[in-house]
Amino acid sequence: MAKYVFVTGGVVSALGKGIAAASLGNLLTGRGLKVVLQKFDPYLNVDPGTMSPYQHGEVYVLDDGAECDLDLGHYERFTDVSLTQDNNLTAGKVYETILYNERKGKYLGRTVQTIPHVTDEIKRRIQLPAEKDRDLDVVITEIGGTVGDIESLPFLEAIRQLRLELPPEDTCSVHLTLVPYISTAGEIKTKPTQHSVAELRSIGIQADFLICRANQPIGDDARRKIALFCNLPPEFVFDGQDVDSIYQVPLNYHQQHMDELVCKRLDLDPPEEAELADWERMTRIILDPPDRVRIAIVGKYTELKDAYKSISESFVHAGIPNLVGVDLKWVDSESLEGREVGDRKLAEVFEGCHGVLVPGGFGDRGIQGKVNAIRYAREKRIPFLGLCLGLHCAMIDMARDLAGLEMANSAEFDPASPHKVIHLMEDQQYIEMMGGTMRLGAWPCVIKPDTLAHRCYGIDEVRERHRHRYEVNNAYRERLEAAGVVFSGTSPDGSLVEILELPSHPFFLAVQFHPELKSRPRRPHPLFRGFVRAAVDHREGSCGEAAEARGDA
């Protein structure tokens, strides 16, 4: 029988419940237990696929095509376990399921209510992974939002019921709270945590463990005070102090014996002790790399870094084997708008940058700025990596400048363009529903030998995650190939372009998919690893040229 860990948050949102849950999963996995994580969100959207990045941050996509919360990215990165649509649930999905069942007559003769129907569906979804995989040891379920929010009440009630129904040693509650430091008083305050735990108890849930988020150590006195008023042993109150890298968090928890205490609480006898030497070495490189490079990310949601969370983490991963730290310069693509933007301004923007990445996105805002950035990287031989929309913009740039198609564009941005080098997929032509209808999930890609893509991957076929509606227009492939473009990755039948590159350039590569979604700290994605290596080479070449110009070389 699987054990269940419920992770909740109190006082304020954005305390890092996802990182806390992922870190616990990391430690339990390291002890040889089979662990899976879930994220339950109380909002009424069926999934976050139609939400603006400013509302929700990055939409993370799984192999099976599920569009889900960005915390699932943390889960996969920290545990290296590929998740499915069973690992993310929203209140909208719960109500959609219940209303569908009601219309089918499943509840015939009964009034459909929050209790028992909504809570029963939530409990069913909590236990679903363990029902599908009888070898699972632990299911960790994170509840989005903050205790006290009206939206999360059905989820918390479902947890209360499940903890009552299962043996006491089969469940435990981990509650994450804020312990603020009041500078005028010169001390930390435990009262918000006490109120948050009291709120949780009023719902019928006693927290078994507390993680106290703070910007400095909480100290033994505060720990004992919190334990006393929250009805816990002091050793069950963990210090969740701010750290420089999220990859330090499992190490911090392990030092406080969190994994050992959780295993004891759940009556688990893990087959191994947590072996973290490799994770510690990795973290040391992240915190103190021998060298650094700088990458410009030219995007349209740069005000909210969580919109590109997987990309920024992929650069952390790629820096490890290259023994460098990657500094990111966030460039608003709208600031580079207009075809009249000259090289002087672009040179100022990209000064000191050793690579340019153009990420995915939707809509025509900031597109010309992305095209201008790609042209500059291409002409100045700066390493370039384009992701999804980045490939579309690269096609527009090269069609205009290399193939002579001056009015080339994407049908998404200019339906009247005479040269739609990017067009709507045929099976997307008549779709009216917006949610979950794009080309989603992992699809195969065959890679041409003797290409940059093949040198990065080192294999002939890969499966990468997609999230888009528009594709390269095959009618223009021959003309672009004649201009020097190599379509180095395609679908197995050759009908869909997956990767393009310019062999005449040191590193110019764009992909239709999202490689950042499959990068892991212990397994950096090959394209990011290769791109960072190219950035290192470019920096060293630039330094050499600069030194030669000064007479130092």
Active site residues: 388, 514, 516
In 204-326, which ranges are continuous DSSP H helix?
A: 219-230, 249-255, 258-265, 277-287, 309-322
The first and second tokens of residue 542, run together, are 């630039």
Tell me if the bond preceding 116 is cis, omega within 30° of 0.
Answer: yes
Tell me, rounded to whole angstroms, the distance of Cα 204 from its chain centroid: 33
Paired residues of 178 in beta bridges: 213
Q: Which amino acid is at 322?
A: N
For residues 95 and 44, is the Cβ–Cβ distance under 8 A?
yes
Give the angle 206-17-164 at the CA atoms, nearest 5°: 30
Nearest to 310, CA basis, from 497, 15, 471, 524: 524
Rounded Cα–Cα distance for residues 58 and 61 (Å):
9
Neighbours of 337 (CB within 10 A): 17
CB contact burial 177-186 (16+ within 10 A = b; e otherwise): bbbbeeeeee
The first and second tokens of residue 207, run together, are 């927290």
441 sits in the region (left: phi over 0; alpha: psi -120 to 50; else beta) called left
The first and second tokens of residue 517, run together, are 């979604």
Hey, what long-range contacts does 274-282 have (CB within 8 A, 24 or more apart)? Answer: 274/27, 274/30, 274/31, 275/30, 276/30, 276/250, 276/251, 278/522, 279/26, 279/30, 279/247, 279/250, 279/251, 280/251, 282/247, 282/320, 282/521, 282/522
